């Protein structure tokens, strides 16, 4: 991040937030005014929620860059320098468990998943993330190829699924997406950068990706194991309770009542990881007062940003999404919900807070070789397709296993034809794209359609998050194929600039390569947050 004053930086983030949220809000407004009119209470709440999301995303983006990113990089680098495997394993599991347990997206899924007690889901999924964060950290240290690990683990997951009642399939795969939300992604991605930063081989930069991808597998396995133990009691699921406001005062009172809940929820979510960081740095290598002050300011930005964002998403977007789904699903032209959902999905991914974090890290680590716009467009196309598939499932009741198995098979086949860094980024992006906007709007939208059609919410509406997490794996790797072809053409037509700056497909070249793709020295290209272990000015 450039050395901007906090105010100027916040204005910059605010502009980006408006650009991200405005398109999807306008589409929903047009739908409300034309083919899918909704209750005036939900409509007013949606408008107010959109404003809160804009300000919340701006504060969160600035805060995450000032606090979560440097905290994660510092912890990752310092614990790796210790060279004590037992310490790396213990700390990785603790961090993964703590940061997932209070993930807001997970709370939403656990609330509406039937037959499994809420705490069972939360603790099991958190343990799954912790265990796979350990695997991810060890992978970076030992340089194990990500695609082989993912193939092996997903083979185990799909095998396990066939011994579990189908009622648990959609919830299990959804849990893999919701755990990588606004709390988890910034810290875990920065943790990977911190670990990779002390490696001086050619694969350090590429291996800094993949933590989110692996951490998405653990929750799926955890919920399937729960399903195996609990048997066939999936249930129907709950419908949303849409509130009615008799006056503007009732509306204001409702929002004011919700705010304390989210102030408490986000405080519980942030406190463990913040306390852990400050205790850890105190005993390992204390930071300067200036660095600590900046991190604390960033934590405050993150806190208030998440409170505003999640209040707006849950109180404003959630009922609007459900009502739109109910209206379209009960109409004579219910299949129009598929293209409408795809259009919303195309624009809504830009409003996911963690997507901004991923795009910035990709640009930094690859020194601009993978442009932010190209990555964003690939994500938008992928999410649009995934939402179309999810709504088609809600309308027809197609089993989630058909698109999931086909999608992951295509993704793994593509991984043999693209530079390894594209595979890592693609599997990370699946978890990043399926954040709070998916959980708070697209899932209720699918649930509304499913309820209107009289289908089973658990098997046919749940799975929306899983679809959103799957298709970017294919879209971004296709981007990798196109990218590789263009670079080969550039090499043949003697265009040295792009070759020198980005990639070299000659295995005998003196430059460092990853599957044929050059990764510039991380010390020069990564947005390092510390020099000689001291956090630098933002």
Q: Quick check: helix, strand or coil at residue 162?
A: coil
Q: Both tokens of residue 175?
A: 């849990």
Q: Is the pLDDT of residue 532 over 80?
A: no
d(CA 302, CA 192): 20
Q: For residue range 50-75, list pLDDT tens digits in order.
A: 999 999 988 988 888 888 888 988 88
Q: Quick check: helix, strand or coil at residue 218?
A: helix
Q: For residue range 487-503, list pLDDT tens digits in order.
A: 787 777 644 454 444 44
Q: Is the pLDDT of residue 416 over 70?
A: yes
**How many CA within 13 A on the CB side of residue 277?**
25
Query: In the predicted model, what is the mean pLDDT of residues 290-313?
Result: 91
Pairing of strands 517-518, 513-514: antiparallel
Give a three-class secondary structure readout of 124-148.
HHHHHHHHHHHHHHHHHHHCCCHHH
365 or 42, greater pLDDT: 42
| Residue closest to 347 by CA, chosen among 371, 383, 316 | 383
**Residues in Cβ contact with 109 at an 8 Å cutoff, skipping those fewer than 6 apart:** 121, 171, 174, 175, 178, 439, 465
Q: What string of DSSP letters covers 471-487?
A: HHHHHHHHHHHHHHHHH
Which of 199-213, 221-235, 370-384 ranks highest by mean pLDDT?
Answer: 370-384
**How many CA within 13 A on the CB side of residue 394?**
36
Q: Both tokens of residue 101?
A: 């347990």
Per the listing, tokens 């006056």 go with: 247
Q: For residue range 460-483, list pLDDT tens digits in order.
A: 999 999 999 999 999 999 988 888
Give the angle subtended at the CA of 509 by the CAs of 364 and 488, to the nearest 5°.
Answer: 70
**How many CA within 13 A on the CB side of residue 254?**
20
Phi first, then psi: what are they for 534, rounded to 5°?
-105, 135
**Residues in Cβ contact with 229 at an 8 Å cutoff, skipping those fewer than 6 apart:** none
Q: Is the pLDDT of residue 399 over 60?
A: yes
Range list of H helices, 397-463: 401-414, 420-433, 436-437, 443-453
d(CA 433, CA 185): 10
Task: Confirm whether 86 is domain-assigned.
Answer: yes
Give the angle subtended at the CA of 530 by the CAs of 293 and 201, to the nearest 5°.
Answer: 160
* pLDDT cut 70: percent of the chain above it: 84
State the CB neighbour count (10 A cutoff) for residue 249.
9
Q: For residue range 429-446, list pLDDT tens digits in order.
A: 888 888 888 888 898 999
d(CA 17, CA 40): 26
| Residue closest to 434 by CA, chosen among 106, 159, 97, 7 | 106
The residue segments making up the domain with residue 233 are 6-240+247-535
What confidence category does residue 328 fall into, taking pLDDT thresholds of 50, 70 and 90? very high
Task: Confirm whether 406 is domain-assigned.
Answer: yes
Q: Is the pLDDT of residue 486 over 90?
A: no
Per the listing, tokens 């993704």 go with: 411
Q: Tell me what pLDDT residue 115 has.
A: 63
**How many CA within 13 A on the CB side of residue 335?**
1
Q: Is the pLDDT of residue 517 over 50?
A: no
Q: Tell me what pLDDT residue 345 has.
A: 93
Per the listing, tokens 């609990």 go with: 230
Task: Confirm whether 1 is domain-assigned.
Answer: no
Q: Both tokens of residue 367?
A: 């020194």
Terminal Cα-to-Cα distance of the chain (whole angstroms): 6
How many structural domains comprise the chain? 1
d(CA 162, CA 179): 23
Task: Confirm whether 477 is domain-assigned.
Answer: yes
What confidence category does residue 113 fall into, taking pLDDT thresholds of 50, 70 and 90? low
Q: Is the pLDDT of residue 515 over 60?
A: no
Q: Is the pLDDT of residue 263 over 50?
A: yes
Q: Is the pLDDT of residue 509 over 50?
A: no
Are 469 and 391 in contact, with CB atoms under 8 Å apart? Answer: no
Range list of H helices, 285-371: 289-311, 318-329, 337-348, 353-365
Q: Both tokens of residue 63?
A: 């805060």
Partners of 514 in the β-ladder: 517
Q: Tell me what pLDDT residue 440 has.
A: 83
Give the angle subtended at the CA of 147 by the CAs of 385 and 213, to the nearest 5°.
Answer: 60
d(CA 304, CA 409): 41
536: left (phi over 0), alpha (psi -120 to 50) or beta: beta
Q: Is the pLDDT of residue 343 over 90?
A: yes
Query: In the predicted model, what is the mean pLDDT of residues 146-166?
Result: 92
Q: Tell me what pLDDT residue 414 has.
A: 94
134 or 104, greater pLDDT: 134
Q: Both tokens of residue 443?
A: 């899932």
Are 463 and 173 in contact, with CB atoms under 8 Å apart? Answer: yes
Which of 277-281, 385-389, 426-430 ranks highest by mean pLDDT?
Answer: 385-389
Query: In the predicted model, what is the mean pLDDT of residues 395-408?
Result: 94
d(CA 287, CA 284): 10
**Residues in Cβ contact with 183 at an 8 Å cutoff, skipping those fewer than 6 apart:** 99, 102, 103, 104, 269, 270, 273, 306
What is the DSSP code (8-state) at residue 511? S
| Average model confidence (pLDDT) across the chain | 81
Helices 85-101 & 248-284, crossing angle to 10 degrees? 170
Are 66 and 535 in contact, with CB atoms under 8 Å apart? Answer: no
Partners of 535 in the β-ladder: 530
What confidence category does residue 188 fall into, taking pLDDT thresholds of 50, 70 and 90? confident
Are 94 and 129 in contact, with CB atoms under 8 Å apart? Answer: no
Query: In the predicted model, what is the mean pLDDT of residues 124-137?
Result: 91
Q: Tell me what pLDDT residue 493 has.
A: 67
Sign of CA dihedral 489, 495, 500, 501: negative
């Amino acid at each position: 991040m450039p050395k901007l004053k906090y105010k100027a930086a916040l204005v910059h983030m605010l502009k980006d937030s408006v650009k991200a949220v405005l398109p999807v809000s306008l589409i929903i407004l047009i739908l409300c005014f034309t083919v899918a009119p909704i209750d005036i209470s939900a409509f007013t709440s949606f408008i107010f929620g959109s404003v809160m999301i804009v300000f919340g995303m701006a504060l969160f983006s600035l805060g995450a860059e000032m606090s979560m990113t440097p905290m994660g990089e510092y912890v990752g680098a310092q614990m790796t320098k210790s060279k004590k495997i037992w310490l790396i394993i213990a700390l990785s599991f603790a961090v993964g468990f703590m940061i997932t347990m209070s993930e807001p997206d997970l709370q939403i899924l656990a609330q509406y998943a039937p037959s499994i007690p809420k705490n069972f889901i939360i603790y099991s999924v958190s343990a799954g993330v912790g265990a796979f964060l350990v695997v991810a950290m060890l992978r970076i240290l030992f340089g194990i190829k990500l695609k082989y690990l993912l193939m092996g683990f997903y083979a185990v997951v799909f095998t396990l699924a066939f011994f579990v009642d189908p009622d648990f399939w959609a919830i299990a795969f959804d849990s893999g997406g919701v755990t990588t939300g606004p709390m988890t992604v910034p810290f875990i991605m920065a943790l990977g950068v911190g670990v990779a930063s002390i490696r001086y081989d050619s694969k350090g930069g590429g291996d800094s990706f993949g933590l989110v991808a692996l951490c998405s597998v653990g929750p799926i396995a955890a919920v399937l194991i729960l399903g195996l133990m609990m048997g066939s009691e999936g249930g129907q699921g709950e419908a949303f309770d849409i509130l009615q406001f008799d006056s503007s005062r009732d509306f204001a009172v409702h929002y004011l009542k919700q705010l304390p809940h989210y102030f408490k929820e986000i405080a519980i979510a942030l406190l463990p990881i913040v306390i852990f960081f400050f205790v850890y740095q105190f005993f390992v290598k204390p930071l300067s007062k200036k660095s600590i002050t900046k991190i604390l300011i960033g934590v405050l930005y993150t806190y208030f940003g998440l409170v505003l964002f999640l209040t707006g998403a849950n109180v404003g977007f959630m009922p609007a999404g459900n009502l739109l789904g109910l209206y379209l699903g009960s109409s004579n032209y219910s299949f129009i919900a598929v293209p409408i959902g795809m259009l919303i999905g195309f624009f809504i991914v830009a409003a996911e807070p963690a997507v901004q974090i991923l795009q910035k890290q990709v640009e930094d680590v690859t020194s601009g070789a993978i442009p932010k716009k190209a990555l964003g467009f690939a994500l938008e196309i992928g999410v649009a397709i995934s939402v179309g598939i999810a709504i088609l499932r809600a309308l027809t009741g197609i089993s989630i296993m058909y698109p999931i198995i086909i999608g992951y098979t295509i993704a793994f086949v593509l991984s043999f034809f693209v530079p390894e860094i594209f595979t890592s980024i693609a599997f990370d992006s699946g978890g990043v794209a399926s954040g709070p906007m998916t959980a708070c709007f697209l899932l209720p939208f699918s649930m509304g359609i499913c309820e209107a059609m009289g289908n089973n919410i658990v098997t046919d509406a749940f799975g929306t998050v899983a679809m959103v997490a799957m298709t970017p794996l294919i879209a971004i790797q296709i981007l990798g194929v196109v990218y590789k072809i263009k670079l080969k053409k550039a090499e043949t037509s003697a265009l040295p600039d792009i070759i020198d700056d980005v990639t070299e497909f000659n295995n005998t070249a003196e430059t460092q390569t990853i599957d044929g793709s050059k990764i510039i020295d991380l010390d020069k290209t990564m947005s390092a947050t510390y020099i000689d272990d001291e956090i630098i000015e933002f």
